[in-house]
């Protein structure tokens, strides 16, 4: 199962411990997280479902390419890191 | 007079309170480190609202029912799904720029003005918000543009104390818009304004006017004042027409304006050198006041720092309390001053706050 890890700076605002979830894409993995912790969604995605401008998502060390539909592939051994982008200050 | 002032800053929400004749800063700000873009004390039920704009994680709303001791997270306004090819700015909330209560006869009703230009209404003390599609879907709205931001924003909301259904809002940049039916229909009400930054044949277009801040007089709501990008305007007919103040003191440029709640002829401003510099005139912070509807002005500097002082006061960085006696200004360089005598003299409360976005007296 892919593992999802959130920046500790997000933990300051909302509880989001790292977790193992089902899913073959970033979208599916994050939806699985939001199903258990719906309050996390608005911190990571905007109201159009896109990754927030100053949030960055990595899969196995690579920045995801599709920030709007989150179609990047994840594998059972993947680690998805949700981090703050330095562009956000 | 109001003895408590909320100060929304780049790094948290600070509170100063007057006790035993002295202003004291609360030892701990709320939301330390987080930008607070708007704060609203609701006199109708004592609730306190704050809008945060987290650098990474978006706009968040907080509500306190105990005067700011504890805060709960509330839903933020959200834009609906953006249709393919919709003109104008992306339908994404960038900032809550202003918060206002509905009328005294509308308990729990709140209004939020936002960037990129959406007006939102809540009927349940901020638990849920709805975009006012009647204004958002106006064909003129995609023509609005950003004034200092990438997209346009609503920064001023005036609810008519005579009739809560009547709402006047100001847009940077998009003029003044008014509804008489609680937001079902809207009309642009910026006739008489002049936009010096536009090509000659567009300067009088009401929909391009860059109003920086607009306020209405509580006791005479037909009178509104507007600090505009290149002028000060005043309306005496409920925004049906606007007249330019001929000679504002120091500069026609500035952001903030407040009006005496009991005398529509008295208003205060914090002028600055116009857009290419945006610093106080002569490097000397000053408040100006008219007592005759804009014909003449006093320049008020007693208690404000001597030159050089490059404190700039943003549009919500000037407030007046309900008595009209006490005023406050907060600056981009972290200065905070309060006047107890209608601006004649000022007391420095702090010179070392984070950049101040808004000051607001407790209701």
pLDDT per position as a tens digit, B144-155: 999 889 999 999
* Residue B314 pLDDT > 80: yes
pLDDT given at position B4: 97
Buried b (16+ CB within 10 A) or exposed e, B154-165: bbbbbbbbeebb
Q: Whose CA is closest to B92, among B105, B82, B100, B106?
A: B82
Contact B55 A89 (CB under 8 A): yes
Domains of chain A: 3-88 (3.10.20.30)
Mean pLDDT value across residues B129-138: 98
Query: Closest Cα of chain B to A12: distance in Å?
Result: 11
Confirm whether B38 is domain-assigned. Answer: yes
* Mean pLDDT on B308-315: 95
C-alpha dihedral (B201, B205, B210, B212), degrees to nearest 10: 140
Q: CA–CA separation, B339 vs B313, rounded Å?
A: 15
φ, ψ (nearest 5 deg) of residue B162: -85, -25
Give CA–CA dist B127/B76, Å, rounded.
8
Q: Which of A47, A57, A86, A89 to mutate to test the interface with B (most CBs of B within 10 A)?
A: A47
**Whether the Cβ atoms of residue B232 and residue B269 lie closer than 8 Å to each other:** yes
Q: Which residue has the tokens 């997270």?
A: B73
Mean pLDDT of A18-45: 96
Kindly state the average pLDDT of the residues B9-31.
95
**Model confidence at B96: pLDDT above 90:** yes
Asked if residue B84 belongs to a domain, the reply is no
pLDDT tens-digit map of B99-128: 999 999 999 999 999 999 999 999 999 999
Question: How far apart are alpha carbons B129 and B60 in whole angstroms?
Answer: 13
Q: How many residues does chain B have?
A: 363
Give the nearest chain A residue to B81 (CA atoms).
A48
Interval B216-271: pLDDT, tens:
999 999 999 999 999 999 999 999 999 999 999 999 999 999 999 999 999 999 99
User: What is residue B257's three-state secondary structure?
Assistant: strand
DSSP-assigned beta bridge partners for residue B112: B99, B120
Where do we find the tokens 């003191």? B249
Contact with chain B for residue A55, Cβ under 8 A: yes
* Burial bucket for residue A35 (CB in 10 Å: 0-12, 13-18, 19+): exposed
Contacts of A44 in chain B (CB under 8 A): 57
pLDDT attached to residue A86: 86
Which CATH number belongs to the domain containing residue B216 in this structure?
2.130.10.10
> Which residue range is the domain that position B328 belongs to?
4-79+89-361
Residue A81 has φ and ψ, to the nearest 5°, of -110, 125
- Choose among B55, B57, B79: nearest Cβ to A47: B79
Going through B236-286 in order, the beta strands assigned E by DSSP cover 243-244, 253-260, 263-272
Q: Is there a domain that residue B21 lies in?
A: yes
Question: How confident is the prediction for chain B on average, in pLDDT?
Answer: 96
A9 touches chain B (CB under 8 A): yes
Share of residues in chain A with pLDDT > 70 (%): 99
A47 to chain B: which residues are within 8 Å by CB? 78-80, 91-93
Do the Cβ atoms of A44 and B60 come within 8 Å? Answer: no
Residue A13 and residue B58: Cβ atoms within 8 Å?
no
Q: Which of B306, B286, B285, B315 has the alpha carbon at shortest distance from B298?
A: B286
Q: Where residue B363 falls among pLDDT bands split at 50, 70, 90? A: confident
CA separation for the pair B115, B59 (Å, rounded)? 11
State percent of chain B over pLDDT 70: 100
Of B55, B60, B93, the CB nearest to A47: B93
Q: Cβ contacts (< 8 Å) between A84 and chain B: which residues?
A: 55-57
Question: What span, in angstroms and rounded, lies between the C-alpha atoms of B171 and B149?
Answer: 12
Number of folded domains in chain B?
1
ipTM above 0.95, yes or no: no
**pLDDT classification of A69: cutoffs 50, 70, 90:** very high
Put simply, the answer to whether A47 touches B92 (Cβ < 8 Å) is: yes
Alpha-helical regions (H) of B40-153: 133-136
Dig out the tokens for B163 from the structure: 């009739």
Tens of pLDDT along B48-66? 999 999 989 999 999 999 9
Within-domain flag for B324: yes
With respect to residue B25, please indicate whether it lies within any of the assigned structural domains.
yes
pLDDT at B27 over 90: no
pLDDT at B164: 97
B318 in any annotated domain: yes
CB pairs under 8 A between A and B: 45
Give mean pLDDT, residues B354-360.
98
Residues 6+ apart with CB under 8 A from B344: B300, B302
Nearest to B220 by CA among B180, B265, B264: B264
pLDDT tens digits for range B162-196? 999 999 999 999 999 999 999 999 999 999 999 99
pLDDT of A89 strictly over 80: no
């Amino acid at each position: 199962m892919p593992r999802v890890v959130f920046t500790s700076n997000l933990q300051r605002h909302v509880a989001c411990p790292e977790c193992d979830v089902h899913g073959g894409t970033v979208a599916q993995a994050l939806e699985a997280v939001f199903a258990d912790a719906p309050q996390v969604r608005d911190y990571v995605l905007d109201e159009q479902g896109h990754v927030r401008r100053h949030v960055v998502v990595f899969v196995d060390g690579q920045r995801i390419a599709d920030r709007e539909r989150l179609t990047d592939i994840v594998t059972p051994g993947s680690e998805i890191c949700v981090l703050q982008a330095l562009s956000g200050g | 007079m109001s003895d408590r002032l909320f100060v929304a800053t780049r790094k948290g929400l600070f509170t100063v309170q007057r006790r035993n004749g002295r202003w004291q800063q609360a030892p701990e700000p709320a939301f330390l480190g987080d930008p607070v873009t708007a704060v609203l004390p609701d006199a109708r039920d004592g609730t306190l609202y704050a809008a945060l704009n987290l650098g990474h994680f978006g706009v968040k709303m907080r509500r306190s029912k105990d005067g700011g001791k504890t805060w709960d997270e509330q839903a933020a306004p959200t834009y609906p799904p953006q249709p393919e090819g919709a003109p104008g700015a992306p339908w994404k909330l960038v900032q809550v720029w202003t918060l206002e209560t509905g009328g005294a006869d509308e308990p729990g009703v709140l209004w939020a003005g936002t960037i990129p230009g959406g007006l939102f209404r809540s009927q349940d003390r901020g638990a849920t918000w709805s975009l006012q599609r009647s204004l958002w879907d106006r064909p003129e709205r995609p023509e609005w543009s950003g004034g200092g931001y990438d997209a346009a924003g609503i920064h001023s909301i005036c609810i008519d104390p005579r009739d809560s259904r009547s709402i006047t809002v100001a847009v940077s940049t998009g003029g003044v818009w008014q509804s008489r039916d609680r937001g079902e229909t809207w009309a642009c009400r910026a006739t008489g304004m002049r936009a010096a930054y536009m090509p000659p044949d567009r300067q009088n277009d009401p929909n391009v006017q860059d109003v920086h801040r607009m306020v209405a007089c509580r006791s005479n709501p037909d009178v509104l004042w507007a600090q505009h990008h290149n002028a000060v305007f005043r309306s005496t007919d409920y925004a049906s027409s606007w007249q330019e103040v001929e000679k504002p003191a120091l500069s026609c440029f500035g952001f903030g304006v407040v009006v005496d709640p009991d005398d529509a002829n008295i208003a205060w401003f914090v002028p600055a050198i116009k857009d290419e510099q945006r610093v106080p005139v002569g490097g000397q912070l000053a408040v100006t006041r008219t007592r005759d509807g804009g014909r003449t002005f006093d320049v008020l500097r007693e208690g404000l720092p001597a030159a050089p002082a490059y404190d700039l006061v943003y549009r919500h960085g000037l407030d007046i309390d309900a008595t009209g006696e006490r005023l406050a200004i907060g600056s981009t360089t972290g200065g905070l001053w309060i006047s107890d005598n209608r601006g004649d003299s000022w007391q420095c409360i702090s010179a070392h706050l984070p950049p101040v976005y808004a000051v607001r007296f407790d209701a």
